[in-house]
Amino acid sequence: MTGPAQAAYADHPLAERARAVMPGGNTRSTLFVPPTPPFAVRGEGAWVEDQLGHRVLDCNNNYTALVHGHAFEPVQRAVAGVVPRGTAFGLPTAEDVALAELLQQRTGLELWRFSNSGTEAVMTALRGARAATGRDVVIRFAGSYHGTTDAVVDVTAPGVPDAVGQTVVVVPQGDRAAYDAALDEHGDDLAGVLVDLMPNRAGLVPADPGFVTHLRETTRRLGAVLVVDEVITYRLDVGGLHQRYGIEPDLVTFGKVIGGGYPVGGLGGRAEIMDVFDPRRQGAVGWGGTFSANPVTMTAGRVALEHLDEAAIARLDRLGELLRGLLAEAGVAASGGGSLTRLREPVDVGELWWEAYRRGVMAGTNGLVALSTPMTEDDVRTIASALVDAVRTVKKETPA
Protein backbone atom coordinates (compact mmCIF):
# COMPACT_ATOMS: atom_id res chain seq x y z
CA MET A 1 0.00 0.00 0.00
CA THR A 2 1.41 3.40 -0.87
CA GLY A 3 0.76 6.63 0.99
CA PRO A 4 -0.54 10.01 -0.15
CA ALA A 5 1.26 11.98 -2.89
CA GLN A 6 3.79 14.68 -1.94
CA ALA A 7 1.35 17.38 -3.09
CA ALA A 8 -1.17 16.30 -0.45
CA TYR A 9 1.41 17.30 2.18
CA ALA A 10 2.58 20.47 0.43
CA ASP A 11 -1.01 21.72 0.06
CA HIS A 12 -2.10 20.70 3.54
CA PRO A 13 -3.38 23.57 5.75
CA LEU A 14 -0.70 22.80 8.38
CA ALA A 15 2.05 23.29 5.77
CA GLU A 16 0.46 26.59 4.73
CA ARG A 17 0.30 27.76 8.35
CA ALA A 18 3.95 26.73 8.82
CA ARG A 19 5.08 28.69 5.74
CA ALA A 20 3.37 31.81 7.11
CA VAL A 21 5.32 31.73 10.37
CA MET A 22 8.65 29.98 9.70
CA PRO A 23 11.27 30.37 6.93
CA GLY A 24 10.32 27.78 4.32
CA GLY A 25 7.76 26.48 6.81
CA ASN A 26 10.70 24.88 8.62
CA THR A 27 12.31 25.13 12.03
CA ARG A 28 14.77 22.25 11.80
CA SER A 29 16.80 22.07 8.56
CA THR A 30 17.82 18.46 9.17
CA LEU A 31 14.31 17.13 8.69
CA PHE A 32 13.32 19.16 5.66
CA VAL A 33 12.46 17.20 2.55
CA PRO A 34 11.18 19.11 -0.45
CA PRO A 35 8.51 20.23 -1.16
CA THR A 36 7.49 19.99 2.49
CA PRO A 37 7.69 17.13 4.97
CA PRO A 38 4.67 15.43 6.55
CA PHE A 39 3.78 16.45 10.11
CA ALA A 40 3.89 13.79 12.81
CA VAL A 41 0.68 13.45 14.79
CA ARG A 42 1.46 10.50 17.04
CA GLY A 43 4.08 7.87 17.70
CA GLU A 44 3.68 4.47 19.25
CA GLY A 45 6.57 2.02 19.56
CA ALA A 46 8.15 1.65 16.14
CA TRP A 47 5.31 3.47 14.38
CA VAL A 48 4.53 7.08 13.50
CA GLU A 49 1.29 8.42 12.07
CA ASP A 50 1.18 11.68 10.10
CA GLN A 51 -1.51 14.33 9.62
CA LEU A 52 -3.02 12.39 6.71
CA GLY A 53 -3.34 9.19 8.75
CA HIS A 54 -0.47 7.49 6.88
CA ARG A 55 1.44 5.12 9.21
CA VAL A 56 5.15 4.42 8.82
CA LEU A 57 7.76 2.26 10.53
CA ASP A 58 10.05 4.85 12.08
CA CYS A 59 13.66 4.25 11.02
CA ASN A 60 14.52 7.85 11.72
CA ASN A 61 13.88 7.55 15.50
CA ASN A 62 14.27 11.30 15.75
CA TYR A 63 17.72 10.95 14.22
CA THR A 64 18.62 7.87 16.31
CA ALA A 65 17.60 9.34 19.68
CA LEU A 66 14.56 7.11 20.26
CA VAL A 67 16.26 3.76 20.61
CA HIS A 68 13.15 2.38 22.35
CA GLY A 69 10.73 3.92 19.87
CA HIS A 70 7.90 6.27 20.80
CA ALA A 71 6.13 6.64 24.13
CA PHE A 72 8.25 3.87 25.70
CA GLU A 73 6.15 2.78 28.65
CA PRO A 74 8.84 2.55 31.39
CA VAL A 75 10.09 6.06 30.50
CA GLN A 76 6.57 7.50 30.37
CA ARG A 77 5.75 5.98 33.76
CA ALA A 78 8.93 7.32 35.37
CA VAL A 79 8.44 10.79 33.85
CA ALA A 80 4.83 10.85 35.05
CA GLY A 81 6.19 10.28 38.55
CA VAL A 82 8.58 13.24 38.30
CA VAL A 83 6.51 15.92 36.55
CA PRO A 84 4.01 16.58 39.36
CA ARG A 85 6.96 17.38 41.68
CA GLY A 86 8.32 20.10 39.36
CA THR A 87 10.09 20.03 36.02
CA ALA A 88 13.06 22.39 36.45
CA PHE A 89 14.72 24.01 39.44
CA GLY A 90 17.27 26.64 40.32
CA LEU A 91 18.96 23.90 42.35
CA PRO A 92 20.60 20.62 41.38
CA THR A 93 18.51 17.47 41.86
CA ALA A 94 19.18 13.84 42.78
CA GLU A 95 18.14 12.87 39.24
CA ASP A 96 21.24 14.38 37.61
CA VAL A 97 23.49 12.66 40.12
CA ALA A 98 21.76 9.35 39.34
CA LEU A 99 22.23 9.67 35.56
CA ALA A 100 25.88 10.64 36.01
CA GLU A 101 26.40 7.64 38.32
CA LEU A 102 24.85 5.29 35.76
CA LEU A 103 26.92 6.70 32.90
CA GLN A 104 30.10 6.57 34.96
CA GLN A 105 29.43 2.93 35.76
CA ARG A 106 28.64 2.04 32.12
CA THR A 107 31.51 3.90 30.46
CA GLY A 108 34.16 4.24 33.14
CA LEU A 109 34.39 7.98 32.34
CA GLU A 110 35.12 9.72 35.60
CA LEU A 111 33.21 13.00 35.66
CA TRP A 112 30.07 14.25 33.92
CA ARG A 113 28.12 17.32 32.96
CA PHE A 114 24.82 17.69 31.14
CA SER A 115 23.33 20.14 28.67
CA ASN A 116 20.31 20.28 26.38
CA SER A 117 21.77 19.18 23.05
CA GLY A 118 24.65 17.41 21.43
CA THR A 119 25.66 20.73 19.90
CA GLU A 120 26.19 22.17 23.36
CA ALA A 121 28.11 19.08 24.47
CA VAL A 122 30.52 19.45 21.53
CA MET A 123 30.80 23.22 22.02
CA THR A 124 31.65 22.76 25.67
CA ALA A 125 34.08 19.91 24.99
CA LEU A 126 36.04 22.18 22.65
CA ARG A 127 35.99 25.00 25.18
CA GLY A 128 37.17 22.56 27.85
CA ALA A 129 39.96 21.24 25.63
CA ARG A 130 41.15 24.76 24.88
CA ALA A 131 40.95 25.79 28.53
CA ALA A 132 42.77 22.68 29.75
CA THR A 133 45.62 23.09 27.27
CA GLY A 134 45.79 26.87 26.93
CA ARG A 135 45.90 26.30 23.14
CA ASP A 136 43.50 27.17 20.34
CA VAL A 137 43.69 24.78 17.38
CA VAL A 138 41.26 21.92 16.92
CA ILE A 139 41.61 19.24 14.25
CA ARG A 140 38.41 17.62 13.01
CA PHE A 141 37.53 15.38 10.09
CA ALA A 142 35.86 16.24 6.80
CA GLY A 143 32.24 15.26 6.37
CA SER A 144 31.54 14.46 10.03
CA TYR A 145 28.59 16.25 11.59
CA HIS A 146 29.00 17.51 15.14
CA GLY A 147 26.07 19.91 15.46
CA THR A 148 25.87 23.59 14.64
CA THR A 149 28.44 25.51 16.66
CA ASP A 150 30.81 27.62 14.47
CA ALA A 151 33.88 25.44 15.03
CA VAL A 152 32.25 22.33 13.58
CA VAL A 153 30.51 23.66 10.49
CA ASP A 154 32.14 24.36 7.15
CA VAL A 155 34.09 27.60 7.46
CA THR A 156 32.74 28.66 4.05
CA ALA A 157 29.12 28.23 5.24
CA PRO A 158 27.10 31.45 5.30
CA GLY A 159 27.28 33.22 8.65
CA VAL A 160 30.51 31.59 9.84
CA PRO A 161 33.28 34.17 10.46
CA ASP A 162 36.47 33.60 8.43
CA ALA A 163 38.40 33.82 11.70
CA VAL A 164 37.04 30.39 12.69
CA GLY A 165 39.29 28.90 10.00
CA GLN A 166 42.37 30.10 11.88
CA THR A 167 41.68 27.78 14.80
CA VAL A 168 40.05 24.78 13.11
CA VAL A 169 41.86 22.42 10.75
CA VAL A 170 39.84 19.92 8.74
CA VAL A 171 41.48 16.79 7.32
CA PRO A 172 40.02 13.71 5.60
CA GLN A 173 39.19 10.95 8.11
CA GLY A 174 41.66 8.09 7.92
CA ASP A 175 44.22 10.12 5.93
CA ARG A 176 47.28 9.67 8.09
CA ALA A 177 49.56 11.76 5.88
CA ALA A 178 47.18 14.74 5.94
CA TYR A 179 46.70 14.38 9.68
CA ASP A 180 50.44 14.15 10.34
CA ALA A 181 51.02 17.22 8.14
CA ALA A 182 48.43 19.13 10.20
CA LEU A 183 50.27 18.08 13.37
CA ASP A 184 53.58 19.27 11.92
CA GLU A 185 52.05 22.63 11.21
CA HIS A 186 49.91 23.12 14.32
CA GLY A 187 51.17 20.62 16.90
CA ASP A 188 52.48 23.30 19.27
CA ASP A 189 49.10 25.02 19.34
CA LEU A 190 46.94 21.90 19.24
CA ALA A 191 44.18 21.95 21.87
CA GLY A 192 42.43 18.83 20.69
CA VAL A 193 41.25 16.41 18.03
CA LEU A 194 37.52 15.78 17.55
CA VAL A 195 36.52 12.48 15.98
CA ASP A 196 33.37 10.43 15.40
CA LEU A 197 34.24 6.73 15.11
CA MET A 198 31.38 5.98 12.70
CA PRO A 199 30.38 9.33 11.25
CA ASN A 200 26.89 9.23 9.79
CA ARG A 201 27.09 12.16 7.38
CA ALA A 202 30.48 11.03 6.15
CA GLY A 203 28.92 7.70 5.06
CA LEU A 204 28.54 5.66 8.28
CA VAL A 205 31.77 3.75 7.74
CA PRO A 206 33.59 2.60 10.91
CA ALA A 207 36.89 4.41 11.49
CA ASP A 208 40.08 2.47 10.81
CA PRO A 209 41.40 1.10 14.16
CA GLY A 210 45.03 1.86 13.30
CA PHE A 211 44.14 5.46 12.55
CA VAL A 212 42.22 5.80 15.81
CA THR A 213 45.15 4.42 17.80
CA HIS A 214 47.38 6.92 15.99
CA LEU A 215 45.04 9.76 17.06
CA ARG A 216 45.29 8.60 20.66
CA GLU A 217 49.07 8.25 20.60
CA THR A 218 49.74 11.58 18.89
CA THR A 219 47.35 13.63 21.05
CA ARG A 220 48.82 12.09 24.17
CA ARG A 221 52.35 12.85 22.99
CA LEU A 222 51.47 16.47 22.21
CA GLY A 223 49.50 17.04 25.41
CA ALA A 224 46.33 17.64 23.37
CA VAL A 225 42.83 16.46 24.24
CA LEU A 226 41.22 13.60 22.30
CA VAL A 227 37.47 14.20 22.06
CA VAL A 228 35.31 11.36 20.74
CA ASP A 229 31.82 12.38 19.62
CA GLU A 230 29.45 9.59 20.63
CA VAL A 231 26.24 11.60 20.24
CA ILE A 232 25.02 8.99 17.74
CA THR A 233 27.30 6.01 18.36
CA TYR A 234 26.62 5.58 22.06
CA ARG A 235 23.58 3.46 21.16
CA LEU A 236 26.00 0.81 19.78
CA ASP A 237 27.79 -0.23 22.98
CA VAL A 238 27.06 0.04 26.70
CA GLY A 239 30.52 1.48 27.24
CA GLY A 240 30.57 3.60 24.08
CA LEU A 241 31.93 2.70 20.64
CA HIS A 242 35.39 3.95 21.66
CA GLN A 243 35.77 0.94 23.96
CA ARG A 244 35.61 -1.39 20.95
CA TYR A 245 38.65 0.48 19.64
CA GLY A 246 40.45 -0.07 22.93
CA ILE A 247 41.22 3.60 23.41
CA GLU A 248 40.71 5.91 26.37
CA PRO A 249 39.60 9.33 25.14
CA ASP A 250 40.03 12.40 27.32
CA LEU A 251 36.51 13.67 26.67
CA VAL A 252 33.44 12.02 25.15
CA THR A 253 30.35 13.89 23.98
CA PHE A 254 26.88 12.40 24.31
CA GLY A 255 23.30 13.23 23.39
CA LYS A 256 20.26 11.53 21.88
CA VAL A 257 19.72 8.16 23.67
CA ILE A 258 20.96 9.42 27.04
CA GLY A 259 17.88 11.69 27.21
CA GLY A 260 15.29 8.93 26.78
CA GLY A 261 13.37 11.04 24.23
CA TYR A 262 13.87 14.42 25.92
CA PRO A 263 16.36 17.19 25.01
CA VAL A 264 19.87 16.33 26.16
CA GLY A 265 23.59 16.63 25.76
CA GLY A 266 26.30 15.20 27.97
CA LEU A 267 30.03 15.38 28.42
CA GLY A 268 32.02 12.71 30.22
CA GLY A 269 35.74 12.53 30.67
CA ARG A 270 38.92 12.29 32.65
CA ALA A 271 38.78 14.18 35.93
CA GLU A 272 41.97 16.05 35.08
CA ILE A 273 40.26 17.69 32.08
CA MET A 274 36.70 17.90 33.44
CA ASP A 275 38.04 19.80 36.45
CA VAL A 276 38.28 22.91 34.26
CA PHE A 277 34.52 23.17 34.86
CA ASP A 278 34.80 22.96 38.65
CA PRO A 279 33.19 26.22 39.84
CA ARG A 280 35.31 26.21 42.99
CA ARG A 281 38.38 26.72 40.84
CA GLN A 282 39.90 30.05 40.00
CA GLY A 283 39.25 30.72 36.30
CA ALA A 284 36.85 27.81 35.85
CA VAL A 285 35.08 27.44 32.49
CA GLY A 286 31.47 28.58 32.99
CA TRP A 287 28.66 26.27 31.93
CA GLY A 288 25.07 27.35 32.44
CA GLY A 289 21.98 26.18 30.64
CA THR A 290 18.60 27.05 32.15
CA PHE A 291 17.21 23.59 31.47
CA SER A 292 20.46 21.63 31.65
CA ALA A 293 20.14 18.47 33.77
CA ASN A 294 16.43 19.05 34.41
CA PRO A 295 14.93 16.13 36.33
CA VAL A 296 12.53 15.13 33.54
CA THR A 297 15.31 14.55 31.01
CA MET A 298 17.60 12.99 33.61
CA THR A 299 14.92 10.50 34.70
CA ALA A 300 13.91 9.64 31.14
CA GLY A 301 17.55 9.12 30.20
CA ARG A 302 18.31 6.91 33.17
CA VAL A 303 15.33 4.64 32.56
CA ALA A 304 15.98 4.44 28.81
CA LEU A 305 19.59 3.42 29.46
CA GLU A 306 18.58 0.82 32.05
CA HIS A 307 16.65 -0.83 29.21
CA LEU A 308 19.52 -0.45 26.76
CA ASP A 309 21.63 -3.17 28.30
CA GLU A 310 24.02 -5.58 26.57
CA ALA A 311 21.23 -8.00 25.66
CA ALA A 312 19.11 -5.24 24.09
CA ILE A 313 22.09 -4.00 22.09
CA ALA A 314 23.00 -7.54 20.97
CA ARG A 315 19.42 -8.04 19.74
CA LEU A 316 19.56 -4.74 17.84
CA ASP A 317 22.91 -5.80 16.35
CA ARG A 318 21.28 -8.99 15.01
CA LEU A 319 18.41 -7.00 13.50
CA GLY A 320 20.93 -4.65 11.90
CA GLU A 321 22.86 -7.59 10.41
CA LEU A 322 19.61 -9.01 9.07
CA LEU A 323 18.73 -5.68 7.44
CA ARG A 324 22.16 -5.21 5.84
CA GLY A 325 22.10 -8.84 4.69
CA LEU A 326 18.71 -8.41 3.01
CA LEU A 327 19.81 -5.18 1.33
CA ALA A 328 23.03 -6.81 0.09
CA GLU A 329 21.10 -9.82 -1.27
CA ALA A 330 18.97 -7.40 -3.26
CA GLY A 331 22.05 -5.57 -4.55
CA VAL A 332 21.38 -2.37 -2.58
CA ALA A 333 24.58 -0.68 -1.34
CA ALA A 334 24.60 0.08 2.38
CA SER A 335 27.11 0.72 5.17
CA GLY A 336 26.94 0.89 8.94
CA GLY A 337 27.07 -1.32 12.00
CA GLY A 338 24.76 -2.50 14.78
CA SER A 339 21.40 -0.74 14.75
CA LEU A 340 22.62 1.93 12.31
CA THR A 341 22.58 1.45 8.54
CA ARG A 342 22.97 3.92 5.74
CA LEU A 343 21.85 3.52 2.14
CA ARG A 344 24.74 4.27 -0.18
CA GLU A 345 23.02 4.32 -3.54
CA PRO A 346 23.95 7.23 -5.85
CA VAL A 347 20.41 8.55 -6.13
CA ASP A 348 18.50 11.70 -5.20
CA VAL A 349 18.10 11.27 -1.44
CA GLY A 350 14.94 13.40 -1.27
CA GLU A 351 13.27 11.26 -3.92
CA LEU A 352 14.41 8.10 -2.15
CA TRP A 353 13.06 9.40 1.17
CA TRP A 354 9.61 9.95 -0.34
CA GLU A 355 9.53 6.60 -2.14
CA ALA A 356 10.36 4.82 1.14
CA TYR A 357 7.90 6.95 3.09
CA ARG A 358 5.06 6.22 0.70
CA ARG A 359 5.86 2.52 1.19
CA GLY A 360 5.56 2.88 4.96
CA VAL A 361 9.18 3.40 6.03
CA MET A 362 10.57 6.68 7.36
CA ALA A 363 14.36 6.93 7.00
CA GLY A 364 16.61 9.88 7.80
CA THR A 365 16.54 12.54 5.09
CA ASN A 366 20.09 11.52 4.16
CA GLY A 367 19.51 7.77 3.92
CA LEU A 368 20.10 6.80 7.56
CA VAL A 369 18.10 3.80 8.76
CA ALA A 370 18.07 3.43 12.55
CA LEU A 371 16.43 0.46 14.25
CA SER A 372 14.70 0.56 17.63
CA THR A 373 14.03 -2.06 20.33
CA PRO A 374 10.26 -2.40 19.66
CA MET A 375 11.03 -3.63 16.12
CA THR A 376 10.67 -7.30 15.28
CA GLU A 377 12.35 -9.46 12.64
CA ASP A 378 9.19 -9.16 10.57
CA ASP A 379 9.41 -5.37 10.82
CA VAL A 380 13.00 -5.53 9.56
CA ARG A 381 11.93 -7.66 6.58
CA THR A 382 9.17 -5.15 5.83
CA ILE A 383 11.70 -2.29 6.08
CA ALA A 384 14.17 -4.08 3.79
CA SER A 385 11.64 -4.82 1.08
CA ALA A 386 10.22 -1.26 1.17
CA LEU A 387 13.74 0.19 0.90
CA VAL A 388 14.75 -2.14 -1.93
CA ASP A 389 11.56 -1.29 -3.80
CA ALA A 390 12.13 2.43 -3.18
CA VAL A 391 15.74 2.28 -4.42
CA ARG A 392 14.70 0.40 -7.57
CA THR A 393 11.91 2.87 -8.26
CA VAL A 394 14.23 5.86 -7.91
CA LYS A 395 16.78 4.13 -10.13
CA LYS A 396 13.91 3.39 -12.56
CA GLU A 397 14.68 -0.32 -12.45
CA THR A 398 11.97 -2.92 -12.85
CA PRO A 399 11.28 -4.61 -9.49
CA ALA A 400 12.63 -8.21 -9.44
Give the three-state DSSP class for 111. Answer: strand
* CA distances in angstroms from 368 to 25, 48, 200, 314, listed in the order given: 23, 17, 8, 20
Q: Which residue is nearest to ligand PMP (CB)?
A: 118
The values of phi and psi at residue 134, to 5°, are 70, 20
Site for ligand PMP (CB under 6 A): which residue of 137, 231, 274, 370?
Answer: 231
Site for ligand PMP (CB under 6 A): which residue of 38, 128, 147, 268?
Answer: 147
119 near ligand PMP (CB under 6 A): yes
Site for ligand PMP (CB under 6 A): which residue of 146, 235, 270, 324?
Answer: 146
**Which residues have a catalytic role annotated?**
145, 229, 256
300 near ligand PMP (CB under 6 A): no
Side-chain half-sphere exposure of 163, counting CA atoms within 13 A: 2
Give the three-state DSSP class for 400. Answer: coil
SS3 breakdown of the chain: % helix, strand, coil, rounded to 5? 45, 15, 40
Interface stretch with ligand PMP, choices 67-75, 84-92, 225-233, 312-320 (CB under 6 A): 225-233
Residues 184-213 that bind ligand PMP (CB under 6 A): 196, 200
* CA distances in angstroms from 185 to 126, 170, 179, 180, 193, listed in the order given: 20, 13, 10, 9, 14
232 near ligand PMP (CB under 6 A): yes
For residue 368, what is the DSSP state? E
Site for ligand PMP (CB under 6 A): which residue of 255, 268, 301, 364?
Answer: 255
117 near ligand PMP (CB under 6 A): yes
251 near ligand PMP (CB under 6 A): no
Interface stretch with ligand PMP, choices 68-76, 112-120, 125-133, 280-288 (CB under 6 A): 112-120
Interface stretch with ligand PMP, choices 19-27, 142-150, 172-180, 390-398 (CB under 6 A): 142-150
229 near ligand PMP (CB under 6 A): yes
Rounded Cα distance, 260 and 303, in Å: 7
145 near ligand PMP (CB under 6 A): yes
Interface stretch with ligand PMP, choices 38-46, 143-151, 208-216, 352-360 (CB under 6 A): 143-151
- Looking at the Cβ atoms of 96 and 120, the one nearer to ligand PMP is 120
122 near ligand PMP (CB under 6 A): yes
Rounded Cα distance, 382 and 163, in Å: 49
Cα end-to-end span (Å), the chain: 18
Task: For the CB of residue 229, give the shortest distance to ligand PMP in the complex, in Å.
Answer: 5
- Looking at the Cβ atoms of 54 and 146, the one nearer to ligand PMP is 146
Would you give the distance in Å from CA 207 to the centre of its chain? 16
Asked, as a colleague might, if the bond just before 35 is cis with ω within 30 of 0, I would say yes
Query: For residues 113-143, b (16+ Cβ closer than 10 Å) or e, as one string?
Result: bbbbbbbbbbbbbbbbbbbbbebebbbbbee
For residue 256, what is the DSSP state? G
- Looking at the Cβ atoms of 250 and 379, the one nearer to ligand PMP is 250
Site for ligand PMP (CB under 6 A): which residue of 9, 47, 63, 112?
Answer: 63
* Non-local CB neighbours of 377 within 8 Å, separated by 6+ positions: 319, 322
- Looking at the Cβ atoms of 81 and 172, the one nearer to ligand PMP is 172
- Looking at the Cβ atoms of 9 and 145, the one nearer to ligand PMP is 145
Binding-site ranges for ligand PMP (CB under 6 A) = 63, 117-119, 122, 145-147, 196, 200, 229, 231-232, 255, 265
